[in-house]
Amino acid sequence: MEDKNASVLPPVKSGQDSSELGSLQEISGDIEALTGPSTKEVLMGVGLLLILSVVFFFIRNAFVGYLVGPAMKRSPNNAAMAGWGLFGGLFFASAILCVALFGKIFLTMFVVIPLSIAMILCFVLAVVMSAKK
């Protein structure tokens, strides 16, 4: 068994100087920020996003019912499309929130800007479709 390991592993130096150890470079900054979110944080973020999605779905249904009802009298198709726009906007906003809370390493412009653009487009869709009769 030792013969197999000896051919794979590098030889061990018994007398290491402290000067060799001092030549290692130290990583500046927060070590947790460099490693990314743990599995627990990812599961908490996904769970929060799932719970918020269910809540946003009920908000969407209430919004569609309000638009179709006697107060606004919008067509059901436009109200449904406005409801999905509201749902999408709230969903993307909560996705930004989950990234900010649990995955700070992913809080970069490459993640936040597309999510923000999608959120704004969904809210504009909701406003435009809810204004049509």
Sequence letter at residue 93: A
pLDDT of residue 37: 83
Query: Residue 23: pLDDT above 70?
Result: no
Query: Residue 16: pLDDT above 80?
Result: no
pLDDT of residue 105: 81
pLDDT of residue 113: 94
**pLDDT digit string, tens, across residues 38-87:** 889 999 999 999 999 999 999 999 999 999 999 989 999 999 999 999 99
pLDDT of residue 65: 95
First to last CA, the chain: 80
Query: Residue 17: pLDDT above 60?
Result: no
pLDDT of residue 133: 79
Q: What gap in Å lies between CA 38 and CA 81, rounded to an integer?
A: 37
Q: What gap in Å lies between CA 15 and CA 37, rounded to an integer?
A: 38
**pLDDT digit string, tens, across residues 74-128:** 999 999 999 999 999 999 999 999 999 988 888 889 999 999 999 999 999 999 9
Q: What gap in Å lies between CA 132 and CA 67, rounded to an integer?
A: 10
DSSP string, 35-100: H---HHHHHHHHHHHHHHHHHHHHHHHHHHHHHHSTTT---HHHHHHHHHHHHHHHHHHHHHHHHH
